[in-house]
Amino acid sequence: MSESRIRLIVGLGNPGPDYAQTRHNAGFWAVDRWADRLGASLQPNKNFFGEAGSARHRGQAIWLLKPQTFMNRSGQSVSALAKFYKFKPEEILVIHDELDLLPGQVRLKFGGGHAGHNGLRDIQSALGGPGFWRLRLGIGHPRSLGLQQNVVDFVLHRPRQRELEALLKAIDRSEQVIDRILDSEMEKAMSELHRDTPMAQDES
């Protein structure tokens, strides 16, 4: 597990009002909250194919990024900023929606596969491997939530009210451990984040 400090925080989603409230944009929601907490203003940046801004933490510049390339080209944006500032993959944290976790669950991990997530897949390809941090925000899976939608339809629709409330609480908890993460206290951040109470599977 890497001990490098996080220097780039990426929230994944799709650009435009049609996608703004969909499950797949949970990463955008979280990075907006993190930017507010850190005092960063995200502005369109053509060089980085996204909305980007910086803040300072303990004297070090921290960049935040929302790729505007659509999900399956997220790596184009992430790699452009990372290469410009010479950030190593282990200095990058990607915040994204996670089908394998119930709404209300949030997990921090280093490395691993993309589990079919097109944003992660493209970032791995652009960075040359999976060696970056991920903050996984549970949105549930249509089967675990008793829905008959296929996965693509599910992630591109708005969460139901109880799912949304649980997801927003998870984002709240992620915001509370920003200092831990930026201070490289990953084990402590994990301990705090993983004490969750996910939405019951039979709720709707």
Q: Which residues are catalytic?
A: 24
What pairing do the DSSP bridges indicate for beta strands 50-57 and 92-98?
A: unpaired
DSSP 34-60: HHHHHT---EEEGGGTEEEEEEEETTE
Print burial letters for 28-47: b (CB count within 10 Å at least 16), e (below 16). Answer: bbbbbbbbeebebebeebee
> What's the one-letter identity of residue 192?
E
Helix extents (H) in the chain: 26-38, 74-85, 118-127, 151-155, 161-176, 178-182, 186-193
Bin 59: left if φ > 0, else alpha if -120 < ψ < 50, else beta. Answer: left
Do the beta carbons of residue 93 and residue 6 sit within 8 Å?
yes
- 141: exposed, middle or buried (Cβ count in 10 Å: 0-12, 13-18, 19+): middle
